[in-house]
A and B are shown apart, each in its own frame.
Chain A
Amino acid sequence: MGNQGKEGIEKLEYFAPKTLSEALILKGKWKAVGTFIAGGTNVIPDMRAKGLRPEVLIDLSHLKNLSYIKEEKKKIRIGSLTRISELASSKVIQKCAPILSQAAYQLGNPLVRNRATIGGNLADASPAADTAVPLLVLEAVVVAESDGRKRRQIPIDQFFTGQNRTALRRGEMIKEIIFPKPNSNAKMGYSKLGLRNAMAVSVVSVAILIDMDGNRCRKARIGLGAVAPTPMRANRIEEILTGREITKGLIEDCSIEVMKEISPITDIRATEDYRRQMTSILLRRVIEQVTS
């Protein structure tokens, strides 16, 4: 909050709920006026840049028991307040879903990673949200809670509804993210292109998960970031790959087809055309990398 002068301090109330239900009751009571803050790494810059003027801050950072990474027999469960730095260094994630730890590893910078949370990254719903792209490929489910209504399970491919917009309803907050553990022989790859090596919003990001049957692709999941209003799955490319032998020619076809499947824009970081070309190249590289 800059010079921390008058802006933002005048009409502002702050609550630090100690439990999830307290947080939900507060949000239910204050409705649109109440803004959740967890790591603060989006909310606080937004107060300056986007003129976000929360009247009531509901601070989630004191909630215990929402920061965890649990490995169960068939799935992984991640609490919404888990810090990005924890995701990056988690041995469980590195072992079971390395594309997620790799994305977390490249998010922002170390100072930001020590505060930013996975729930916040998803709720902010940037088209370039780093953890969203591997989570799409992992077919994660976002568990949303609210005061008085039933817990909802939102499949991640329905979670992002537009630029910085999610399927979360008024009064809901993300409690955890769950995804099935990929097969131990699933091939996964991730690549992020940014304008520099750190503190870079993705220009294009790609995550893939391929289940092979011999040299045939049994199942393919491809996630793309920063090339559409929301993080997206490249369904058409997945169709092309499924059931086929992954040859150099097929990879080439995919890298050409993907340019038609995306809807990138020109912004301060890159042109639409550059993003299209880079998506093509990154997709080819990542498929080659995991199938070599």
Chain B
Amino acid sequence: MTVKFIKKHSLKISVNGEWKKTEVAPGETLLYTLRERLGHTEVKEGCGKGDCGACAVLLDGKAVNACLTIALQANGQKVITLKGIGTPERPHPLQESFVKHGAIQCGFCTAGMIVSAKGLLGENPHPTRGEIRRAISGNLCRCTGYTKIVDAIEETAKKLRKQ
């Protein structure tokens, strides 16, 4: 049996709290849908094959690689990108901390780092530095050497615990 046509499928996902409906190709990834169809270019493509973590998003609360998720697998589910965590108008403490600590150089890994950090703090409000390093072990950074990123996440955890 061969496949002779491409059928477009209807996808419904919540992105940063807003339900969106769009047509998608069967094999397209969540990364593609978010960036190209829904305009969420804050989700970055670093490698497209799950090796760098730049495309990390929260899917039903769990940090995942958007490039390793077929968009239709997220049908009916809730996605949070960097912009759902904080914006320039209302930055999340993680973002403020990253800026304060110099944890951003070229900025390309940052969206994914913050998503992974948000995922961590959602599950573990008292992470050790080791646990922080482990939580971002799927996110590569070619610029900073990671130390400032870990500092920023550690300080944010402390700050959030005080609130």
Whether A9 and B28, one on each chain, are in contact in the complex, defined by CB atoms closer than 8 angstroms, is: yes
Task: Say yes or no for A41: interface residue by CB 8 A criterion.
Answer: yes
Known: A56-B3, A112-B138. A49 touches B62 (CB 8 A): no
Most A CB atoms within 10 A — which of B27, B49, B68?
B27
Is the CB–CB distance between A1 and B27 below 8 Å?
Answer: yes
CA distance A55 to B51 in the complex (A): 25
- How would residues 77 to 103 of chain B score, 1 for a CB under 8 Å from any chain A CB and 0 otherwise? 000000000000000000000000000
CB interface residues, A 25-69, toward B, < 8 Å: 29-31, 33, 37, 39-41, 44-45, 47-49, 54-57, 59, 61-62
> Which of B2, B67, B75 has the largest count of A CB atoms less than 10 A from its CB?
B67
Please report which residues of chain B, range 12-48, place their CB below 8 angstroms from some CB of chain A when the two chains form the complex.
25-29, 31-32, 36, 48
A62 to B63, CA, bound (A): 18
Chain A residues near B163 (CB-CB < 8 A): none
Interface centre among B31, B48, B135 (most CB of A within 10 A): B48
Residue interface bits B55-67, CB-to-A below 8 A is 1, else 0: 0100100111101
Closest A-B pairs by Cβ, 10 of them: A109-B138, A14-B26, A198-B137, A4-B32, A111-B138, A12-B27, A114-B62, A2-B48, A45-B49, A9-B25
Q: Does A115 contact B (CB under 8 A)?
A: yes
Q: B106 within 8 Å of A by Cβ?
A: no
Q: In the complex, which of the residues B29, B51, B68, B134 has the most CB atoms of chain A within 10 Å of its own CB atom?
A: B68
Could you say which of B25, B51, B116 has the most chain A C-beta atoms within 10 Å of its C-beta? B25
- Contact indicator A110/B135 (Cβ below 8 Å): yes
B3 engages A13 (CB within 8 Å)? yes
A184 at the interface (CB under 8 A from B): no
Quick check: is B121 within 8 A (CB to CB) of the other chain?
no
A243 at the interface (CB under 8 A from B): no
Whole-angstrom distance from the CB of A114 to the nearest CB of chain B? 4
Would you list 12 pairs from A and B whose C-beta atoms are within 8 A, ordered by A residue? A1-B28, A2-B49, A14-B72, A16-B72, A29-B1, A37-B70, A57-B27, A59-B70, A62-B73, A111-B56, A111-B63, A115-B68
Contact: B6 with A199, CB < 8 Å?
Answer: no
Interface size class of A (residues with CB under 8 A): 35 or more
In the assembled complex, which residues on chain A have CB atoms less than 8 Å from the CB atom of B75?
Answer: 16, 62
CB of A110 within 8 A of CB of B138, answer yes
**Does B69 have its Cβ within 8 Å of any Cβ on chain A?**
yes
* Interface size range on B against A: 35 or more
Give 14 A-B pairs besides A4-B28, A45-B49, A115-B64 with Cβ atoms closer than 8 angstroms: A4-B36, A11-B3, A12-B3, A13-B7, A33-B1, A44-B50, A47-B27, A54-B27, A59-B70, A62-B73, A109-B137, A109-B138, A110-B135, A197-B137
Q: Is B138 a contact partner of A12 (Cβ separation < 8 A)?
A: no
- CB contacts (< 8 Å) of A57 on chain B: these are 26-27, 70
Which chain A residue lies CB-closest to B4?
A11
Given A14-B9, A16-B72, A1:B29 Cβ within 8 A: yes
Q: Which residues of the partner chain B approach A8 to less than 8 Å between Cβ atoms?
A: 27
Question: Which residue on B lies nearest to A85, using beta carbons?
Answer: B62
Report Cα–Cα, A110/B139, bound state, in Å: 9
Enumerate chain B residues within 8 angstroms of A85, measured Cβ to Cβ: 62
Of all chain B residues, the one with the shortest Cβ separation from A60 is B73
Q: A45-B49, A45-B68, A61-B73 are in contact. Are A4 and B29 (CB under 8 A)?
A: yes
List, in ascending order, chain B residues with CB within 8 A of A14's CB: 9, 26-27, 70, 72
Given A110-B63, A110-B119, A115-B65, answer yes or no on A11-B138 (Cβ-Cβ < 8 Å): no
Q: In the complex, which residues of chain A have a beta carbon less than 8 angstroms from the beta carbon of B67?
A: 1, 44
Are the C-beta atoms of B26 and A44 separated by less than 8 Å?
A: no
Complex: how many Å from CA A255 to CA B111? Answer: 46
Q: Which of B106-163 contact A (CB under 8 A)?
A: 116, 119, 134-135, 137-139
